[in-house]
Amino acid sequence: MTAKHKSFSRGYAFKNFEGQPQDNFLQINIPEKVIIPLKQGFGDEVPPIVKPGDKVAAGQIIARDDESVSSPVHSSVNGKVIQVEQVNYSGREINAVTIESDGTDDFQKLDGFSSEWENLSAEQIGRLIYLSGAGSLGKSGIPTGFNSSIISPRDVENVIIQGVGSEVHNLSLEVLLRDGHLWHFIVGLKILKKLLTNAAFHIALDKSAKNLITEVTDFLADTDSFGIYSLKPKYPLDYDEVLIPILLDREFPHGFSSANIGVIVLDIQAVLHVYEAVAQGKPLIERTIALCGGGFRERPHLGVRIGSPIEHVVKDRARQDKELRFIRNSSLTGEALSDLSSPVDRTFNTIIALPEDTEREFLAFARPGFKRDSYSRTVLSALFKDGSDTFQKTCSTNLHGEERPCIFCTFCENVCPVAIIPHHLFHYVERDVIDETLLSLKIFNCIECNLCSYVCPSKISVGQYIKQGKQKLLEEGFECPSGGFELKAVEKLKSLK
Q: Is residue 361 part of a domain?
A: no
Question: Would you say residue 396 has pLDDT above 90?
Answer: no
Domain boundary among 256, 280, 304: 280
- Together in a domain, 89 and 157: no
* pLDDT computed for residue 484 by the predictor: 72
Express each pLDDT in 190-206 by its tens digit.
999 999 999 999 999 99
CB atoms within 10 A of CB 426: 23
The answer to the question of residue 380 being in a domain is no
Give the pLDDT confidence score for residue 357 in this predicted structure: 76
Residue 122 sits in the same domain as residue 201? yes
d(CA 232, CA 302) in angstroms, rounded, equals 27
Q: Final residue of a domain: which of 101, 129, 151?
A: 101
CA dihedral 337, 330, 260, 224 (to 10 degrees): -130
Average pLDDT over the chain, rounded to whole? Answer: 92
**Quick one: average pLDDT of 95-108?**
97
CA angle (158, 446, 324) in 5-degree steps: 100
Helical axes 122-132 vs 181-195, angle rounded to 10°: 120
Residue-wise pLDDT tens digits, 116-156: 999 999 999 999 999 999 999 999 999 999 999 999 999 99
Residue type, 53: G
Which residues sit opposite 158 in a β-bridge? Answer: 200, 263
Give the CA distances from residue 84 to residues 55, 103, 442, in Å, rounded to whole numbers and listed in that order.
13, 21, 44
Residue 391 included in any domain: no
Q: Is residue 392 part of a domain?
A: no
pLDDT in tens, 302-313: 999 999 999 999
Q: Report if residue 144 sits inside a domain.
A: yes
Provide mean pLDDT across the span 424-438: 95
Compute the distance between CA of residue 422 and CA of residue 425 in angstroms, rounded to an integer: 5
The H or E element containing residue 349 is: none
Q: Which residues contact 446 (CB under 8 A, 6 or more apart)?
A: 254, 418, 420, 422, 425, 463, 466, 467, 470
pLDDT at 382 over 60: no
| Residue-range definition of the domain harbouring residue 342 | 292-356
**Mean pLDDT of the 449-461 span:** 94
Residue 268's CATH number:
3.40.50
Q: Is 373 within the bounds of a domain?
A: no
Give the mean model confidence (pLDDT) for residues 394-422. Answer: 88
pLDDT in tens, 220-258: 988 888 999 999 999 999 999 999 999 999 999 998 999
My answer on whether 202 and 88 are in the same domain is: no
What are the beta bridge partners of residue 36? 97
Q: Give yes or no: residues 227 and 171 share one domain.
A: yes
Distinct helix (H) and strand (E) counts, the chain: 13, 17
Q: In what order do the strands lie in the sheet with 263-267?
A: 4-6, 226-231, 200-206, 158-163, 263-267
Q: Residue 366 pLDDT > 50, yes or no?
A: no
- State the sign of the Cα–Cα–Cα–Cα dihedral 403, 404, 406, 412: negative
Percent of all residues in the chain with a pLDDT value above 70, rounded to a whole number: 93
pLDDT in tens, 321-356: 889 999 999 999 999 999 999 999 999 999 999 998
Q: Give strand pairing partners of 475.
A: none
Of 66, 101, 136, the one marking the end of a domain is 101
DSSP 48: B
CA gap 409, 367 in Å, rounded: 22
Q: What is the identity of the amino acid at 354?
A: L
- Give the model's confidence band at 394: pLDDT under 50 very low, under 70 low, under 90 confident, else very high: confident
Residues 303 and 201 in one domain: no
The answer to whether 399 touches 354, Cβ cutoff 8 Å, is no
Angle, helices 181-195 vs 210-219, to 10°: value is: 50
Condensed to tens digits (0 to 9), the pLDDT of residues 178-190 reads: 999 999 999 999 9
Same domain, 91 and 224: no
3-class SS of residue 108: coil
Whole-Å CA distances, 210 to 42, 185, 216, 222, 443: 32, 17, 10, 20, 38
Work out the average pLDDT over 413-437.
Answer: 95
Report the alpha-carbon distance of residue 347 to residue 344 in Å, rounded.
Answer: 8
Question: Is 273 a member of any domain?
Answer: yes
Answer for the pair 372, 379: CB distance below 8 angstroms, yes or no.
yes
Provide the pLDDT for residue 386: 53
Q: Are strands 335-336 and 324-328 parallel, antiparallel or unpaired?
A: antiparallel
Q: What is the CATH number of the domain that holds 43?
A: 2.40.50
The string of pLDDT tens digits covering residues 22-70 is 999 999 999 999 999 999 999 999 999 999 999 999 999 999 999 999 9
**Confidence (pLDDT) at 364:** 54
Domain count, the chain: 4
pLDDT of residue 125: 98
Say yes or no: 471 and 332 in one domain: no
CA atoms lying within 13 Å on the CB side of residue 401:
15
Same domain, 230 and 347: no
Q: Answer yes or no: do 204 and 265 share one domain.
A: yes
Residues 154 and 90 in one domain: no
Per the DSSP assignment, residues forming a β-bridge with 12 are 235
Same domain for 303 and 449, yes or no, is: no
Answer with the residue of higher pLDDT: 389 or 376: 376
Q: Give which of 347, 352, 323 is closest to 336, Cα–Cα.
A: 352
Kindly state whether residues 160 and 241 are assigned to the same domain: yes
Reduced to 3 states, what is the DSSP secondary structure of residue 192? helix
Q: Is residue 377 part of a domain?
A: no
pLDDT at 11 over 50: yes
